[in-house]
Amino acid sequence: MPELNTGVEIFRIQIIAVVGSLFIIGFIIELIRRKKLQERYALLWLVAGIVMIVLSIWRNGLDKLAHLLGVGYAPALLFLVALGFGLLMMIHFSVVISSLTERNKILAQEVALLKAELNKINDEFKKRSVN
- For the beta carbon of residue 52, count every other beta carbon within 10 angstroms: 22
* Domain spans of the chain, in order of start: 1-36, 39-130
pTM over 0.85: no
67 with 73: CB under 8 angstroms? no
How far apart, in whole angstroms, are the C-alpha atoms of residue 93 and residue 47?
A: 17
Using one digit for the tens of pLDDT, what is the confidence trace for 34-54? 999 998 889 888 998 898 888
CA distances from 16 to 13, 50, 120 (A): 5, 14, 65
Q: What are the average pLDDT values for consecutive 10-residue runs of the chain, which has 131 residues?
A: 63 86 95 92 88 82 88 84 88 94 98 97 89 67
Residue 107 to residue 79: CA distance in whole angstroms: 41
Exposed (0-12), middle (13-18) or buried (19+): which is 74, by Cβ within 10 Å? Answer: buried
Residue 74's pLDDT is what?
Answer: 80
C-alpha 68/C-alpha 70 separation (Å) is 6
